[in-house]
Amino acid sequence: MEEQKKGVNKKVKKFYIVLGMLLILLIPIAFMSGIVRDRESYKDEALRNVKTAWADSQVIQAPKLVLNIPDKKGVRKESLTLNNYEAEVEVKTQIRKKGIFKVPVYIADVELKGDFLNTYGMIKNLKSELEFQVTDSKGYISQPEIKFLTEKSVKTVSQKYEKNITTSAKTLPFEIKYQIRGINKIYVVPGGNNNEIEIEGDWKDPSFDGDFLPSEKEISKDSFEGEWKIPAIAVSSLTEPKAGVSFLTPVDNYRMATRAVKYAFLFLSLTFLAYFIFEVGSKDKKPIHQLQYLMMGAAMLIFYLLLLSLSEFMLFGLSYTIAAIMTIALISAYTYFVITKREGRKFTILITLIMSLLYAFLYLLLVLQDLSMLIGSFVLFLIMTLVMYSTRNVEWNSDD
């Protein structure tokens, strides 16, 4: 009867208190996630402002040749098949700043050439329309130059070149040259029977994307080059096929910060667990008050604010190191001077080591994204093993 009246012992009560503190800290963790999203939205707004004043990401469409053929009902438009198609794009990049945010923009020299198949035999004085397009026509910084059939190059003020033609040639050759500017990405649409695309530029960290990876590529310290050879059969099943390059920054600090915040509750739990084991396993130490748990938890959450704010001005790795050192130093000093009253030097060293390993573990998870699940599982198994070993002598049913 005495055991039933005694109720839950002190160790279990303290466990519930620590768990309650962790649940309370879920509220500021949610606020941290909101802050990261807000900062990312500011970056997106800066991107939109630059896009408005400069130009959007460009997709270079394949040229089209349309013949206006008279018939009994008037005029019907017939499109000729683009046969051989070559696109050469040379990109020069630069960084535009909007506030504290940096946005990669570019100017591209574009040269399109190839030929259309003449399936009509003799063409006599028919109006032809040679069309070419890009996503954002505001990006043109020079009048396009067109060389159609055997004529000299002419400049045009629109994306459609109209001319009456007379020819019996089996193929109708063309060349189109222009300069455009854009932001972040540039793509080329393969629209011919045989497509050869070449994109080169001065960006040191290009990302080849779209529907096709280059058949050949070369990336050096300050330049890149990619070549695509795409037959028509490869694009037949695609609605809007394209191949190209992205110039986005290699490390997105907001994406990394978002992933880091997702591990916040786990890190708080492991740190609080270390203090809880210290508390229940050391009979000669004073108990840790729940408010002290909250203060240490708040200090650990400030790490994410430091990380986010620093990463907007410097490399993410350096930002992470500085924020981690500041947080570990604060928690270690608080442990030594307040928690242990300068009597627990060994525990202070141990908690410093534990937190250092935890932050190193987190950085590893952020950097090695593909292996994060595998590494995380093994590390958590190891932590659980150490917890079980450390509490092997604790009498959970005893109040002592």
What pLDDT, on a 0 to 100 scale, did the predictor assign at position 121? 85
Domain count, the chain: 2
Q: For residues 298 and 21, what is the distance between their CA atoms, to the nearest angstrom?
A: 11
Closest CA to 304 of 235, 377, 362: 362
Q: Pick 98 or 127 by higher pLDDT.
A: 127
Q: Which of 245, 270, 294 is the last residue of a domain?
A: 245
- Residue 167 within a domain: yes
- Indicate whether 100 and 176 sit together in one domain: yes
Find the mean pLDDT for residues 127-145. 94
Residue 121, token pair as written in the block: 């035999």
Residue 286 in any domain: the answer is: yes
If asked whether residues 286 and 383 sit together in one domain, one would say yes
Q: Which of 227, 245, 263 is the last residue of a domain?
A: 245
- Across residues 154-183, what is the average pLDDT? 93
3-state class of 181 per DSSP? strand
Q: Is the pLDDT of residue 3 over 60?
A: no
Shared domain for 219 and 280, answered yes or no, is no
Is 397 inside a domain boundary? Answer: no
CA–CA dist 84, 170 (Å, integer): 13
53 has pLDDT over 50: yes
Q: How confident is the model at residue 80 (pLDDT cuts 50, 70, 90)?
A: very high
Do 221 and 275 touch, CB atoms closer than 8 A? no
As given in the structure block, the two tokens for residue 22 are: 């962790």
If asked whether residues 185 and 72 sit together in one domain, one would say yes
Domain identity same for 239 and 257? no
Percent above pLDDT 70 for the chain: 94
Q: Which residue has the higher pLDDT, 24 or 40?
A: 24
SS3 324: helix
Residue 50 belongs to a domain: no
In the prediction, which pLDDT does 170 show? 93
| Domain co-membership, 88 together with 197 | yes
Q: Quick one: average pLDDT of 136-154?
A: 91
pLDDT at 126 over 70: yes
- Residue-averaged pLDDT of the chain: 88
Residues of the domain holding 92? 57-245
Q: Is the pLDDT of residue 5 over 50?
A: no
Is 312 part of a structural domain of the chain? yes
Whether 165 and 103 share a structural domain: yes
My answer on whether 85 and 234 are in the same domain is: yes
Residue 118 backbone zone (phi > 0: left; psi -120 to 50: alpha; other: beta): beta
pLDDT for res 92: 96
Let me know whether 74 and 222 are in one domain: yes
Residue 51 lies in a domain: no
- Who wins on pLDDT, 25 or 279? 25
Please say if the pLDDT value at position 263 is more than 50. yes
Q: What is the mean pLDDT of residues 370-395?
A: 78
pLDDT for 400 beyond 60: no
User: Could you tell me if residue 315 is inside a domain?
Assistant: yes
The mean pLDDT of 174-184, rounded to a whole number, is 95
Q: What is the pTM of this model?
A: 0.74
Is the domain of 132 the same as that of 220?
Answer: yes
- Asked whether the predicted pLDDT for residue 395 surpasses 70, the reply is no
Q: Which of 199, 222, 245 is the last residue of a domain?
A: 245
Q: What is the pLDDT of residue 14?
A: 84
For the residues 158-175, what does the mean pLDDT come to? 92
Residue 182 sits in a domain whose CATH number is 2.60.40
Half-sphere exposure of 363 (CA within 13 A, CB side): 17
Contact 217, 257 (CB under 8 A): no
Q: Are residues 83 and 203 in the same domain?
A: yes
The confidence band for 283, taking pLDDT boundaries of 50, 70 and 90, is low
